[in-house]
Structure 1
Amino acid sequence: MVEQLRDAAAEGRIDLDELDARLEQAWKSKTYAELAVLTADLPGVSSAGEELPPLVLKGGMHGASRGPGRWEVPGRVIAHGGLAGVKVDFTRVDCRLTEVAVEAYGEAAGVTIVIPEGWAADTSGMDPGIGGLKDKTTPTGFREPR
């Protein structure tokens, strides 16, 4: 990540002050997701989402979200709802992939996934658990819990 940031500065995509701030944040980061945001707005840093580490979001006690806004989508997203829930909004993302795998664990509060017009979601392999599954992308997408 440090090398990618230095390359971005050398190519003039960020100035030296921005480089210093991002390098400081890179050294403080504890997860791949925290590192990924440091280059998400830099074109050409990662040419394929498969190379990005998975995005892991944990709702915990305060909730978590990604988007809306511009961010580069990795090939895999893992969301744990926890007690306060998780929301993943793909409506304004930079996605170069034809498919993104999303693992959603609703837990106590659930996971909300928002996709833009023209995208499709295959929820056939999902276990609705005790809370059920609402798929608003197709007319027959809602399944009651068993």
Structure 2
Amino acid sequence: MTDESPELRASDADRERVAERLREAVAEGRLDMEEFQERLDATYKARTYGELAPVTRDLPDASAPSAVPARASSTGTGAWAERIGGAGTSSRGVAIMSGFSRKGVWTVPRRFNCFAFWGGGEVDLREARFEAPEVVVNCVAIMGGVDVIVPPGVEVVVRGIGVMGGFEERLGDDLPERGAPRVIVTGFAFWGGVGVKRKVTRAQKRQLKEERRRGELE
């Protein structure tokens, strides 16, 4: 993969290596978010090495796609820079003798309020973006329950109060990753509960299994 063969078709792995170098450049302060987004769009649209090479040409050790080092991530979360920023897409969840769910790709606002009365709710942050480096998930559960699911690497602080109910943490020993957002879970539980747990997505589970399998074969 050099400038001498710019017409050769690039693979998905080539594009991912360049995308990862761009994420590292944001974390290093070499690119701002606007530049990052423009270059990331160009990366995923690129079909040949000739189209990929200019994306990282002005970054250290990135004169061609082959020069961009791949960085392994056991969780698949990688760098966080591209997941922080933008306006929140949902500000509340309400379950009154019913349920609500916020999951998949969405943007968590600076403060997300949820209320469950004789019902249940789910706030899943595993594939979410974050409006700010620190967000608050405020949960009120009255004879109901709310589950907050966070991905590995995120810093979590739980400050809720329970009366004949409580806040349960199942976060494990996972350490915060550099640049990861901080999630503060707060609120009130009366005859109800708020559960905070850390989980990976199914896709990340498959990736972990594949990484372990490759490690066993090497």
Alignment TM class, shorter chain as reference = 0.5 to 0.7
Equivalent pair of 2:105/2:127 in contact (CA under 8 Å): yes
Which one has a larger percent helix, Structure 1 or Structure 2? 2
Q: Say yes or no: does 1:66 pair with 2:102.
A: yes
Which one has a larger percent strand, Structure 1 or Structure 2? 2
Q: CA RMSD in A?
A: 2.4
State the shift of 1:126 in Å.
1.4
Select the structure of larger CA radius of gyration. 2
For the residues of structure 2 that align with 1:79 and 1:92, how far apart are their CA atoms?
19
Q: Which ranges of structure 2 fall in alignment gaps of 5 or more residues? A: 1-83, 174-189, 191-218
Which amino acid in the other structure matches residue 125 of structure 2? F
Q: Say yes or no: does 1:131 pair with 2:165.
A: yes
User: 1:86 aligns to what?
Assistant: 121
Equivalent pair of 1:85/1:108 in contact (CA under 8 Å): no
Secondary structure, counterpart of 1:128 in structure 2: strand
Secondary structure, counterpart of 2:142 in structure 1: coil
Secondary structure, counterpart of 1:81 in structure 2: strand
> CA 1:112/1:57 → structure 2, altered by over 3 Å: closer, same or farther?
same
User: 2:157 aligns to what?
Assistant: 122
State the shift of 1:85 in Å.
1.0
TM, length-normalised to structure 1:
0.55
State the shift of 1:132 in Å.
1.7
Which amino acid in the other structure matches residue 126 of structure 1? G
Which amino acid in the other structure matches residue 129 of structure 1? V
Which structure 2 residues correspond to residues 1-146 of structure 1 after superposition, within 5 A? 48-49=85-86, 52=88, 55-67=91-103, 69-123=104-158, 125-138=159-172
State the shift of 1:54 in Å.
6.3
State the shift of 1:74 in Å.
0.8
State the shift of 1:52 in Å.
3.9
Instruction: Provide, for residues 89-119 of structure 1, a one-character-per-residue CA deviation record: whole Å limited to 9, x for no partner.
Output: 0000122521111111011111110000011
Which amino acid in the other structure matches residue 100 of structure 1? V
For the residues of structure 2 that align with 1:119 and 1:100, how far apart are their CA atoms?
11
For the residues of structure 1 that align with 2:165 and 2:124, how far apart are their CA atoms?
21
Secondary structure, counterpart of 1:91 in structure 2: coil
Secondary structure, counterpart of 2:157 in structure 1: coil
Which amino acid in the other structure matches residue 97 of structure 1? A
Instruction: Provide, for residues 62-104 of structure 1, a one-character-per-residue CA deviation record: whole Å limited to 9, x for no partner.
Output: 211100x101111110011111111100000122521111111
Identity of aligned residues (%): 24
TM, length-normalised to structure 2:
0.38
